Structure 1
């Protein structure tokens, strides 16, 4: 975990949760850098300074291109430093090389990013929103360690683990729940999500699947895996969009997998309005 607030180190495994998922809520500035790159040592501290000053109006994800070559390849990085701005899952702006602080501020302003105020009354709420899936797991582990007899805390940990892809540990925790909690709605939905997780054995990383879909929007196998990844990360609408796209492209694909994926997703998503909206879309395609 990066020591500075609003700054984190990007990994291939955490890209979906830490970059894509966060970008659905607020802009994510992605700094591609390397330890041997002199200009990177100039730009990096400037970006971190602004991330602290802007107080969560955007977050800064740092990609060491030597350690995370798959992420660099997905973004076709040819030189460092290179900076991209992502919002709602899409790259909306960026620049190569080093630019001075005043131009960095102009870049942020051009993209409607202004410093966020920090008040004492919303500090707790902001802290909760800013927890990454990995941080949620760490917090849940600490809670379980502090009160190991509270089984509901173990369910909280299992749900947090599911967001990071740690399905084996989550499954063990859920299986060990007492009877009164094993029928809890959250536990039932968690088991259903575990069924989805089984489909992800040996699945490519999210960035790889995104590239496949960008190259061929009829790659329904990639869409299915990407949809499952979205669902397990708590990105319910993004998951349903992939499954709906599959249904629209070929309802008979893999023995009716698009329809089955949608119906199974409807069972585990808690947002009733969202489910109703996509049920109507599914019906309009089928009938």
Structure 2
């Protein structure tokens, strides 16, 4: 399994930033005083809440937007990021810094221009982009951040904050039935998370979120018990060793290489007959469940599996 500490050569040292944080909270919104409220996954960050915001990235990805109202196009970027964060329903959190009001944070992060967008993972900041990007380009960048998070075992969900809303309809909040599973994921107890998602599936076999959650938690529970060097040695010694192939596929998945994981299993299916194929096929289908249905690696693997089986 990969080291759960996120390391990149372009990561920004956050030690100076952490020293500026004095508040216990993480920048949640004030209680709404107007009649309507909605849930949001966007918070405002200042010097008193920056340390707690960094800590959040130990559980789930945080996108840090450093912006200024004076910059042309920054408002559209803010709107696009907020819409994506709220649409993700807690898969990541948007933390926004007004650099005009809080220049110390921008200085500590060595920001050269605004807007600047960074990713926070496992307490480290990694530059994502500067300037204003088109919506589709932002989606691509954030998808890469989420893949890096998964590859480092950062798979928790952010809790929404409550903000005032003048509209009649409130934004949805994640069902409280998932609380036990999400809490287990957040503390890294993937076996417990798998059990919690499985209980939800037994109660409602059509629950797609629970099915995906169970598959992801199961993957991390298995991968957490593996020694990559030992798995590699077993696979080199016997490429037809089904257990070694499945273990190597799990490691490839958590390291962000789904196409490689799928190819390992499908390659063995092609040379296997009878009942020996069934555990390989079942594991492959479980791994399929861990990905976004629109992932191109998934579509290709489904075609390859069909060809291998028939």
Q: Normalising by structure 1, what TM-score?
A: 0.43
- Whose relative contact order is higher, 1 or 2, with alpha carbons under 8 Å and at least 6 apart? 2
Q: Normalising by structure 2, what TM-score?
A: 0.40
Query: Per residue, is there more helix in 1 or in 2?
Result: 1
Q: Which structure has the larger Rg?
A: 2
